[in-house]
Amino acid sequence: MSGLLYNRKASAALASLGAGGRLPHAILLEGPAGSGKHLAAEIIARYALCTAQEKPCGQCAGCVKVGKRVHPDVRYYGVPEGKKEFPIDLVREIRQDAYIAPNEGTCKIYILEQAHAMNAAAQNALLKSIEEPPPHARFVLLCENRSMLLPTILSRVTAIELEVPSVEQCAQALETLAPDAPEEERRAAAAGAGGNIGRALELLGSAKPSKAAADARQLREILVFGDRYQALKILAAYDKDRQSLLDLLPLLEEGFAQAALARYRRPAAGGQEERLTNRLTCEQAICAAEAAAQAAEQARRNVSVPLLCACMVERIKAAVGG
């Protein structure tokens, strides 16, 4: 549940749907990639299949199976790999299956990913199931933009809008979703992913961030205490690896941002970063963080890697007075 807390409006809407104990037959979850549609669909499935009094409890066999995606009464459908459309054959399959009674629960949940990728014929086929649904069937449609769905479909669904969380909200969600990751890496992943929780988890889960985190730490030290040639030497390893550089730069930015924050709050606490924090003024640390952020922006816009690294190093050295 907690992953959706950032999205209070959507959480409230889901809770009110589940409160009466009777979910609508068709729910539309609309929002851009990374807005938590899959998580919301999972919560709906838990409301439907939880066997506890207080739904969804997250602990009963029903909830656990939904979370592991092994509940026999929750079916996922989407655009097959290598295809661009949600095939009408799949819709027909869903319609037939919906008339078969549930296995374990009291209802069957059909989660239709990329529902906007259904052509008109497929949507019309689906419409029949939504208009006269078998009593135990619940349909959850996921789409990025409702304008791609037929008005007849839209008039029969309960729609919930989801928004991409802010970087701050994403970092908060990662506290719960990835408690083992160091805070610095969680914040960098949230920033690197632009708030997209799924992408941020990917960033945290891949091996790259660890190497990137080590390099970012070393770079910060060198940029503040060392000389620019040492810094450029580390960055030269990224000349042909723009993607890894995009993992590194948000970490570098985050490290300086944290230094600025620590300086602002003036804690006397020790720790690895103390030397760096004491050396920089709040403004210097902010300028350095901005230089790293600008470099990341340039890296995304395909500016030459050696060029953007050289510019960043010059800016940071100028900011920190070295």
Task: Give the interface with Zn ion as residue ranges (CB under 5 A).
Answer: 50, 52, 57, 60, 63
Smaller CB separation from Zn ion, 50 or 91? 50
Q: Per the omega criterion (within 30 degrees of 0), is the bond before 56 cis?
A: yes
For residues 232 and 237, what is the distance between their CA atoms, to the nearest angstrom? 9
Q: Which residue of this chain has its Cβ atom nearest to Zn ion in the complex?
A: 50
Smaller CB separation from Zn ion, 29 or 50? 50
- Pairing relationship of beta strands 108-112 and 137-143 according to DSSP bridges: parallel
Q: What is the CA radius of gyration of the chain?
A: 24
For residues 108 and 220, what is the distance between their CA atoms, to the nearest angstrom? 53
Smaller CB separation from Zn ion, 63 or 160? 63
Cβ 43 to Zn ion, closest distance in Å? 11
Smaller CB separation from Zn ion, 74 or 296? 74
Smaller CB separation from Zn ion, 41 or 309? 41
Cβ 66 to Zn ion, closest distance in Å? 8
Cβ 98 to Zn ion, closest distance in Å? 23
| H runs (alpha helix) in 81-160 | 88-97, 120-131, 151-154
Q: What is the edge-to-edge ordering of all strands in the sheet holding 74-77? A: 74-77, 108-112, 137-143, 26-30, 158-161
Smaller CB separation from Zn ion, 51 or 169? 51
For residues 258 and 32, what is the distance between their CA atoms, to the nearest angstrom? 30
Task: Name the residue among 318, 207, 220, 211 with its Cα closest to residue 272.
Answer: 220
Q: Which two tokens stand for residue 39?
A: 């998580």
